[in-house]
Amino acid sequence: MKTMLEIQDLHASASGAEILKGINLKIRPGEVHAMMGPNGSGKSTLAGVLAGRPAFEVTRGRILYCGRDLLELEPEVRAREGIFLAFQYPVEIPGVTNNYFLKASLNALRAHRGEEELDAMDFMELVKEKMKIVDMPADLMSRAINEGFSGGEKKRNEVLQMLLLEPRLAVLDETDSGLDIDALRIVANGVNHLRRPDRSMLLITHYQRLLDYVVPDHVHVLSEGRIARSGGKELALELEEKGYTWLEKTPPGTPEAQPA
């Protein structure tokens, strides 16, 4: 099986401070990986580096996405090539309607693939269908992007975008944080809806809770900028039970953590 994403010895820093200190990770098509870890371990930095966040500087290592050097691509090109980042803190943008934004976004991706732009009617039909999956109220489309949305609505809006853009690699940065159990189920439902043999996902989360609904193929634990441990879905449960301090007491690196 081909590799979707291969991260090799990735070091990255922000404002001169090194945060990622040698990440190695391989994600194959169809796989769902969970990246867990305590606050400050580098989870969101990893997500940001994958999406091309300008504040992070990659100082060593490389990332291959479908065999291409990902770090050479601008954020918008990564998106058009099928990478999607669901933001931990979705941005509020006054004066631009959600509808206009999602249409512009989808059409930018379609244009990149050489497909015709969707007109307003076809787009509306498609959106309605996707909105049902995340149980999103219709009026959120005519409001400004994320402005005045509740925490749950913002996260649902992220999943809606993901459903529309149908990425090849979806990175979800703590999409579960701050959600009540009903919202969590809805978000998980949206994520599960997208699982396909040719689509991969990286779920970044602090808690095991999301993984009750979206069952991962692999679980990694990030600690101080390195993957401290990798395993199957049972690793998440073990972490939940023992807490992150458990990591500090046991030696890092198990055989699964190293790419074959």
Partner 1 sequence: MSTRTEARDRFLSDWEAFEHQRGAQEPAFLGQLRRGARDQFAELGLPSSRQEEWRYTNVRPLAETTFEQPSGTPEITRERVEEISFPVFACSLFVFVNGRYAPELSTPQALAGGLPVESLAQLAVESPDRLEQLLAEAASLKGHPFAALNTAFLEDGALVTLPRDTDVGHAIHLVFVSSGCVPTISQPRVVVRAEQGSRGHVIQDHVSLAHPGEGAIHFSNTVTDVVVEANAELDLVLVQREGEGTHVVSNTNVRQERDSRFACHTMTLGGNLVRNDLEVLLAAEGADCTLNGLFLGRHSQLVDNHTLVDHAMPNCSSRELYKGILADDARGVFRGRVIVRPDAQKTNASQSNPNILLGDGAEINTKPQLEIHADDVKCSHGSAIGRIDEEALFYLRTRGIGAGAARALLTRGFAHEVIAALPHHALTDALGAMLDERLRGAGT
Residues that bind partner 1 (CB under 8 A): 51-54, 74-76, 78-80, 84-85, 87, 90-91, 93-96, 101, 104-105, 108-109, 112, 144, 161, 165
- Three-state DSSP class for residue 155: helix
CB of 109 to partner 1, least distance (A): 5
CB of 160 to partner 1, least distance (A): 12
Q: Considering beta carbons, is residue 91 or 181 the nearer one to partner 1?
A: 91
Q: Considering beta carbons, is residue 93 or 215 the nearer one to partner 1?
A: 93
50 exposure class (CB count in 10 Å sphere: 0-12, 13-18, 19+): buried
CB of 62 to partner 1, least distance (A): 20
2 exposure class (CB count in 10 Å sphere: 0-12, 13-18, 19+): exposed
Q: Considering beta carbons, is residue 79 or 228 the nearer one to partner 1?
A: 79
CB of 180 to partner 1, least distance (A): 25
From the CB of residue 159, how many other CB atoms can be counted at a distance below 10 Å? 25
Q: Considering beta carbons, is residue 95 or 251 the nearer one to partner 1?
A: 95
**How is 82-115 classified by DSSP, letter by letter?**
TEEEE-SSPPPEEEEEHHHHHHHHHHHHHHHTTP
Radius of gyration of the chain (CA): 18
CB of 54 to partner 1, least distance (A): 7
Q: Considering beta carbons, is residue 161 or 175 the nearer one to partner 1?
A: 161
**How is 184-221 classified by DSSP, letter by letter?**
HHHHHHHHHHH--TT-EEEEEESSSGGGGTS--SEEEE
